[in-house]
Amino acid sequence: MNELNDVKIHRGLKEIYLDRTKSSYIDGKNGKLYYRGFNINELANNSTFEEVSYLLIHGTLPNKSQLDEITTWMANSRDIPNEIINLIDSIKHLHPMDVLRTAISTLAAFDESLEDDSIEANVKKGLSITAKAPTIVTAHIRLREGKAPIVPEKSLSHAANFLYMLFGVIPDELDAKLIDKDLILHAEHGLNASSFTARVVASTQSDMYSAITAGIACLKGPAHGGAAEGVMKQAQEIGDEKNTVNYVKNLLSSGGRIMGFGHRVYKTADPRALILKIDAKNLSDRKGNPKWFAILQSLADCMEPYEKKGICENVDFWTGAIYNLLDIPDDIFVSIFALARIPGWTAQIAEQFSNNILIRPLLAYVGELEKPYIKIEDRK
């Protein structure tokens, strides 16, 4: 046991490099994010989610014919089996992330290529899951409201179709573009907790469905994916921007935490938050509802002194306001995060498959050894 006393423990594996990757790069010191070498600002302002999905999974930007092909293929892959609809209906009382996790896992039973572990087959599985996931999330919301799920509209973009299936009307073009940008910004982000989880599963030579299901299960945790919902709950508790200072003071003095601030990697402003802040302001003006932006801006102002400690607004801070202004139910905020992240998970899972090694860290045992076994009748 003495040899374990000197072992250096890296709790949370903080700042530990597990492997090398080409999928994304986070420059936490300077607040920059790159997908396959492309700056996130360029992609968010010029690309589409379908194009970024191609980029993450294939490693290069598609030409026009390649983009048309993947866009059409994904649009044609949105339908889910009736058995999945029935499953969703039977568990519609659960949290949307529980439903999404269960439905994605069950989809594997309907994939004839499940046992095909070729690169081509795994890429198709990831894209198929990407295409079907919005159908699952929106079907659940409709069913729990006593409404019939809406059949996907192939003529709409991935983002626009999501809003269409959620609300039953063709969405405003600017609203659809905003959701498209939001999906791009959430599509990939290094070796975060859910990507690590997906890689661990992939390292055992399991299948794409299992790895993505594991990623969804991990993302459900509030320490990873639930901050956007938490931000809006706090904004609703504040109620009015004049209450913000006292709210922050009381919460922090009692040991509470202001949601939407701080990040394990970024030591300065999250570049995704800077993009979405502008969009949140424009959306609040366009919808004629400045209340939530004003509250969040006052919250950001109160937290400004903490920026020197590296505690800045993260992507979730403004995401919640955008979803709220679009009338998206609070409890599917993290589900949208999952919908966006599937291409990133797919890219990392495929990367793990291509250069695999079993991920199997160690734990330093600190308990007793050689304890005597006492028969049940002799125990006190």
pLDDT digits (tens, 9 = 90+) for 192-230: 999 999 999 999 999 999 999 999 999 998 888 877 788
CA distance 88 to 100: 9
Partners of 34 in the beta sheet?
Answer: 25, 39
Mean pLDDT, the chain, whole residue set: 94
Q: Which one has a higher pLDDT value, 303 or 50?
A: 50
Q: Is residue 8 part of a domain?
A: no
Angle at 222 between CA 38 and CA 86, to 5 degrees: 90
Same domain as 203, residue 346? yes
Q: Is residue 11 part of a domain?
A: no
Domain CATH code at residue 199: 1.10.580.10
What is the pLDDT at residue 4? 64
Asked if 285 and 277 count as a contact pair (C-beta separation under 8 A), the reply is no
Per-residue confidence at 2, pLDDT binned at 50, 70, 90?
low
Same domain as 245, residue 169? no
Collapsed DSSP state (helix, strand, coil) of residue 317: helix
CA distance 241 to 8: 47
> For the chain, how many structural domains are there in total?
2
pLDDT tens-digit readout, 139-189? 999 999 999 999 999 999 999 999 999 999 999 999 999 999 999 999 999
DSSP state of 60: S
The Cα-based distances of 376 to 304, 367, 371, 373, 379 in angstroms read: 60, 22, 15, 9, 5
For 67-106, b/e burial (b = at least 16 CB within 10 A) is beebbeebbebbebeeebbebbeeebeeebbebbbbbbbb
Domain CATH code at residue 263: 1.10.230.10
The alpha carbon dihedral of 94, 96, 99, 101 has a sign of negative
Asked if 227 and 314 count as a contact pair (C-beta separation under 8 A), the reply is yes
What is the pLDDT at residue 314? 87
pLDDT tens-digit readout, 115-138? 999 999 999 999 999 999 999 999
Domain of 81?
24-217+338-354
Residues catalogued as catalytic: 263, 316
Q: Is residue 165 part of a domain?
A: yes
Same domain as 131, residue 154? yes
Q: Is residue 308 part of a domain?
A: yes
223's CB contacts (< 8 A; 6+ apart) are 193
Q: Is residue 264 part of a domain?
A: yes
Same domain as 107, residue 50? yes
Same domain as 235, residue 203? no
Angle at 77 between CA 75 and CA 79, to 5 degrees: 105
Same domain as 266, residue 188? no
Q: Is residue 364 part of a domain?
A: no
pLDDT tens-digit readout, 279-296? 999 999 999 999 999 999
Same domain as 191, residue 270? no
**% of the chain exceeding 70 in pLDDT:** 99
Q: Is residue 71 part of a domain?
A: yes
pLDDT tens-digit readout, 314-361? 888 899 899 999 999 999 999 999 999 999 999 999 999 999 999 999
Same domain as 233, residue 199? no
Same domain as 245, residue 150? no
